[in-house]
Amino acid sequence: MMFLLFIVGAYLLGSVSFAVLMSYAFRLPDPRTYGSHNPGATNVLRSGKKLAAALTLLGDAAKGWLAVWLAQHFAPVSDGIFSRIFGEGSLWFVAAVALAVFIGHLFPIFLRFKGGKGVATALGIMLAVNVWLGLAVLGTWILVSLIFRYSSLSALLAALCAPVFAWLLKLPTEYIVLNTVVSLLLIWRHKLNIQNLLSGKEGKIGKKY
């Protein structure tokens, strides 16, 4: 039972859209109505309100970090059938919670299952899993964004590198699998951006709507 509570709780936490909340708080247009129509920090930045975008980024990353941290520190030692499936205190349990909060961001129940692309939430998850992994992924994103000025390209390359970084850091198999699944989902969510990048239609960082 506790396992289900953690999974459902993580999904609901992931479903909280800080892009929509911050836009409402700062009296900005709904981020789903302009730019890329994506409820994420990069699109909020297109409104010209940098503080709202920064708070969106922090909020979306924090919910990913918090879900994993709670699972790591308060996961039930024994939970009946789920303990037999995942093992007592298994990292698979933590990975499942991490995936639930990420899916909640991608398909939030509060926004009719139409959510963001998961970049900030994925970063929060990775920072909670291993701070060096998170910093390596963040560094990759920053480096690519400074060179090319495309948020989507930065996210795609960071996602591709994440499982490699996890392997180089010799993280447990459960976390390598988690990073691989999260990265694949993130890349899939950027399929339209990939098309725009290839056609030269992708908007650069800071471009207003």
The token duo for 101 is 């909060």
* Structural domain contains residue 206: no
* Structural domain contains residue 130: yes
Share of the chain above pLDDT 70, in %: 91
* All residues at 6 or more sequence positions from 93 whose CB lies less than 8 Å from its CB, including other chains: 3, 6, 71, 75, 82, 86
Domain count, the chain: 1
Please tell me the predicted confidence (pLDDT) of residue 3.
82
pLDDT digits (tens, 9 = 90+) for 99-144: 999 999 999 999 999 999 999 999 999 999 999 999 999 999 999 9
CB 120 within 8 Å of CB 41: yes
Measured between alpha carbons, how far is 14 from 151 in angstroms, rounded to an integer?
Answer: 21
pLDDT digits (tens, 9 = 90+) for 172-190: 999 999 999 999 999 999 9
* Structural domain contains residue 31: yes
Containing structural domain, residue 154: 2-199
Measured between alpha carbons, how far is 93 from 89 in angstroms, rounded to an integer?
Answer: 7
